[in-house]
Amino acid sequence: MSLTNKNVVFVAGLGCIGLDTSKELLKRNLKNLVILDRIDNPDAIAELKAINPKVTVTFFPYDVTAPLAETAKLLKCIFSQFKTVDILINGAGILDDHQIERTIAVNYTGLVNTTTAILDFWDKRKCGPGGIICNIGSVTGFNAIYQVPVYSGSKAAVVNFTSSLAKLAPITGVTAYTVNPGITKTTLVQKFNSWLDVEPKVAEKLLEHPTQTTQQCAKNFVKAIELNKNGALWKLDLGTLEP
């Protein structure tokens, strides 16, 4: 699938993997890249705009833990401004098993809410045009890091939710797949807490394993989007892309 002239909404498009993926997306001559993120970063937005002046980059402040009604209100504003959205990328995530409720809210509930909200505009049962959802999971979604069961469980939920969305495509007209990064050099893995402190040095032990850079991950992230395979469970690890 060509991304030329597509409108893409990217939740957490200024994060570690998110920012480098946004940069890769801009090389594909999108029509609009709409970034939703909790913290405004004017320097990052300016950097993105400079990459490809042909693409309009727009920022909206958005906390993924917002109630469904607020998410729906924001999407209504986006659809009103841009008329169509082709792809939704759900990319928000945290890794800290001390923050149980927030981990589930950011990694899973928020993703479900943005998906639910956009279905109101895309669902073909409501005469919508359909659409594409790309959800960022993690290899822990199918191969848990047992010291962080809350994080791993939230990512497993993303994988299963997305698989269900893909199977509902004949009904809704909305296709979906997950991209699942392996260990990537981001701020998430520099320092984090294990559940109930079962492993005080979990971050250090994780980084003993081979890692990939955010740039490597981003390149394969966009390749997965271009492949656009409904129901795919992509593994992005050590600079490779494989099902």
pLDDT in tens, 15-63: 999 999 999 999 999 999 999 999 899 999 999 999 999 999 999 999 9
Q: Does the predicted TM-score (pTM) go above 0.85?
A: yes
User: Measured between alpha carbons, how far is 69 from 54 in angstroms, rounded to an integer?
Assistant: 33
pLDDT one-digit tens code per residue, 59-113: 999 999 999 999 999 999 999 999 999 999 999 999 999 999 999 999 999 999 9
Instruction: List the catalytic residues.
Output: 151
User: Measured between alpha carbons, how far is 222 from 138 in angstroms, rounded to an integer?
Assistant: 16
Angle between helices 42-51 and 16-26 in degrees, nearest 10: 30
User: Measured between alpha carbons, how far is 49 from 43 in angstroms, rounded to an integer?
Assistant: 10
User: Measured between alpha carbons, how far is 145 from 151 in angstroms, rounded to an integer?
Assistant: 8
At which residue do the structure tokens 């939230």 appear? 154
CB 109 within 8 A of CB 65: yes
CB 90 within 8 A of CB 136: yes
Superfamily of domain 7-242: NAD(P)-binding Rossmann-like Domain (3.40.50.720)
| Domain residue ranges of the chain, discontinuous segments joined by + | 7-242
The two three-digit tokens of residue 45, written as one number: 């937005």
